[in-house]
Structure 1
Amino acid sequence: MSYTLTKRTDSEFDVVVESTIAALENEGFGVLCDIDVQKTLKEKLDEDFRSYRILGACNPQLAHQALGEEIELGALLPCNVIIYETDDGSVTVSAVDPEQLVGIADNPALDSVAVEVHERFERVLSAIEADGVN
């Protein structure tokens, strides 16, 4: 069982990052944090690493609804979307599957929110660079 929703594309890394952010915004998500893993590992460890970004995405309305049902859910927020270069030169975008993530809370009241976020993330991935391959 996979815990992410994933898409691969042959587009340039920076183009995919911008496309992903725009697609998230179109689905009502803001990017609360943007972690450049490559840059951080170089600065902190002097280690080279592939292009790799972690976007912390949040839809305030859905987060508010979910937190109203399960206050501890904040430990799982924001929803992470990762973008990284693969060994073959393509770029992969993976979003946490909210249905899997919320499943650990074992609270059926969260199911509808998880389904909604899942559907929105599917649309985000579909919107990223039409020339990509799933």
Structure 2
Amino acid sequence: MIDYTIFTKKNMEEAIQSLEESLKEEKFGVLWKFDIKEKLQEKGLEFEKEFKVLEVCNPHEAQRVLSENEMAGYFLPCKIVVYEDNGQTKIGMPKPTALINLLNNETLKQIAKDIEERLMRCIDKSI
């Protein structure tokens, strides 16, 4: 599986707020929140679903990954999405291990596994 996605009973804003709090505990910060619905509507396109992308980063981990292989920068920062699907709020992310496997580097695979587990805990805590 290349992604990790869960349901939450929280609404979008509650889920994002809770997620941001759990990310801080793991020393990840939200660099940017991208509201896809708003951006598409701004461009004159109809899109009814709420869909937000959070770009998250732990500077220490980013430095470790980039020092090992600069090509890993193509996968940074990590993305977590919060969106509505059939009236339910979902939180998900592409798994860092799935992405980093493309570089075929054992050290990076171990770092990605650790980051993935930490981000999954953050998502789980936020439900």
TM range (shorter): over 0.9
Q: TM-score of the superposition, structure 1-length normalised?
A: 0.89
- 2:49 corresponds to 1:63: no
Which residue does 1:20 correspond to in 2?
19
Deviating runs (4+, > 3 A) in structure 1? none
Which residue does 1:49 correspond to in 2?
48
SS of residue matched to 1:45 = coil
Which residue does 1:132 correspond to in 2?
none
Which residue does 1:104 correspond to in 2?
102
Which residue does 1:39 correspond to in 2?
38
Which residue does 1:85 correspond to in 2?
84
SS of residue matched to 1:17 = helix
Q: TM-score of the superposition, structure 2-length normalised?
A: 0.94
Work out the CA distance in 1 between the residues paired with 2:24 and 2:83: 20
Q: Any conservation in 2 of the 1:67–1:73 contact (CA below 8 Å)?
A: yes
SS of residue matched to 1:67 = helix
Q: Any conservation in 2 of the 1:99–1:115 contact (CA below 8 Å)?
A: yes
Work out the CA distance in 1 between the residues paired with 2:47 and 2:89: 18
CA RMSD of aligned residues (A): 1.1
Deviation at 1:61, TM superposition (A): 0.7
* Contiguous gaps of at least 5 residues in structure 1: 130-134
Length, aligned pairs only: 127
Identical-pair percentage: 28
